[in-house]
Chain A
Amino acid sequence: MHLVLANYFPVLVFLAIALGIGGAMVGGSMLVARQMPYAEKVSAYECGFEAFGDARRRFDVRFYLVAILFIIFDLEVAFLFPWAISLGRIGLFGFFSMLAFLGVLTVGFIYEWCKGALEWE
């Protein structure tokens, strides 16, 4: 237990040092540069127009769809990782089990393709 976690200790050190560098850069810039905000400067950029409305509004549902498809396929990849490592030990049975699983997913993929879920005009 102790040794396994010790392997990951450098990751924490990387996190701390990177946070330090990043914080020092932004903080240092805020200290040395003159800050002179005024209403026009801090308004949202809209190509020279006065900003109208709020940016947090409705957006195209297809972005949402892409995110859902991503979750499905990323989960599939997550299942494939341990399978790929142990394929030599689980033999043909393991191979065909995963093939069946991939087959089911492929049917779903063909369905969404035919339904036009992957179309962007």
Chain B
Amino acid sequence: MHDFFFNTLVGHVLLVMGETLAVLVPVLMLMAYSTYFERKALGAFQLRRGPNRVGPFGLTQPFADAVKLLFKETIIPAGANRLLFLMAPAITFVLACMAWAVIPTFDGGAVADINVGILYLFAISSLGVYGIVVAGWASNSKYAFLGALRSAAQMISYEVSIGFVLVCVILCAGSLNLNDIVRAQKNLWYCVPLFPMFVVFLVSMLAETNRAPFDLPEGESEIVAGFFVEYSSMAFGLFFLGEYTNMLLMSALASILFLGGWQAPFGLSFIPGVVWLLLKICMFMFFYFWVRATFPRYRYDQLMRLGWKVFLPLSLGWVVVTAGFLEVFHMLPGESM
């Protein structure tokens, strides 16, 4: 049995497919329940009950929503470019899923444990803009077009600061491999020495996933829903899936970069790493919902000012400070003393 899976080609392909499903199925389930959790949390913040009709405590609500979306008509606008119109949600969803290939769930446990893990994630999240721009352009609707432009400008603005934050982390860890980065945090999580970058990353990840208070691309009071205004049925569903999967991904990335990924805190290592990673991801998801319930939406000029005039100089400066500090105190990883 062992020989079959590790020494033959067919066995290897089956093994990898199994591993892929073992990651994707929980991620999609987590995504489905994060919509439920979000509605429950928002309900609690506003002294409401949230969904409580479908199943006990409304627990089957996500599936009811999915089935309802499935039986809705897929409307393709007359002026739209049909092929691109249907491709856009697929791009968003596929990219959001593909990024999970490199996320380590326990020590050494990433489906694709590649050496350039961070670079891969950075590339995938850059490609995410395409789904949105293509959707806005292919819909041939003014709201969709404006929403796509806004969204693209916002995402690339905050991507720059995220890039500098990543550089700070790999300066400390000395590797682009996500498992190595987690291992380097064995004694001290990076949210302590790199605290300002942790804050920058937290805010940037809200902007990167177009979430409140930076949800201007879909600002319902001005451009109704932004880039997906023309989408209906499962095509809309894929955008929705993509957005929440991306939120989970950014939460996972934040846990890996700053909260020690699968490392257990306080020496509680008898609980497996994957549980700790899940707990950290859930914590960041709750942060998303908490922020959404607390802060009003930003104005577009404020958003761009925060990205370019505050976060960019701050994170760029912090890269120099971190590098200088490590250089002066000879704390660089891989340094020959």
Contacts and interface: CB of A to CB of B under 8 A. Distances in A.
A55 B335 contact: no
A92 B327 contact: yes
Contacts of A42: 75-78
A115 interface: no
B203 interface: no
A88 B233 contact: no
B70 A87 contact: no
Contacts of B44: none
A54 interface: yes
Contact of A118 (B20, B142, B308): B308
Given A22-B94, A41-B75, A89-B336, A29 B312 contact: no
Contact of B112 (A8, A41, A51, A73): A8
Contacts of B164: 77, 80
A85 interface: yes
Interface in A45-69: 45-47, 51, 53-56, 59-60, 63, 66-67, 69
B334 A88 contact: yes
Nearest to A46: B142
B192 interface: no
Contacts of A53: 142
Contacts, number: 226
Interface stretch (B152-160, B247-255, B258-266, B288-296): B152-160
Given A85-B176, A95-B323, A67 B98 contact: no
Contacts of A1: none
Interface residues of A, number: 68
B101 A10 contact: yes
A97 B79 CA distance: 53
Given A42-B75, A55-B141, A85-B174, A32 B160 contact: no
Contact of A85 (B170, B229, B237, B305): B170
Q: Chain A at the B interface: mostly helix, strand, loop or mixed?
A: helix
Contacts of B238: 22, 25-26
A23 B332 CA distance: 47
A120 to B, nearest CB: 4
B73 A55 contact: no
A118 B149 CA distance: 16
B274 interface: no
A36 interface: yes
A17 B316 contact: no
Contacts of B48: none
Contacts of B235: 26, 29
A74 B86 CA distance: 29
A9 B16 contact: yes
A63 to B, nearest CB: 5
A14 B78 contact: no
A69 B308 contact: yes
B174 A11 contact: no
B145 A56 contact: yes
B216 to A, nearest CB: 12
A22 to B, nearest CB: 5
A63 B149 contact: yes
B224 A45 contact: yes
Contacts of B120: 11
Given A42-B76, A46-B141, A74-B159, A95 B101 contact: no
A12 to B, nearest CB: 9
A39 to B, nearest CB: 7
Contact of B70 (A17, A29, A56): A29
Shortest Cβ-Cβ A-B pairs, 5 listed: A77-B163, A88-B335, A18-B97, A88-B332, A29-B234
12 contacts: A18-B97, A23-B90, A30-B233, A44-B140, A46-B143, A69-B308, A70-B160, A84-B171, A88-B333, A92-B327, A120-B301, A121-B301
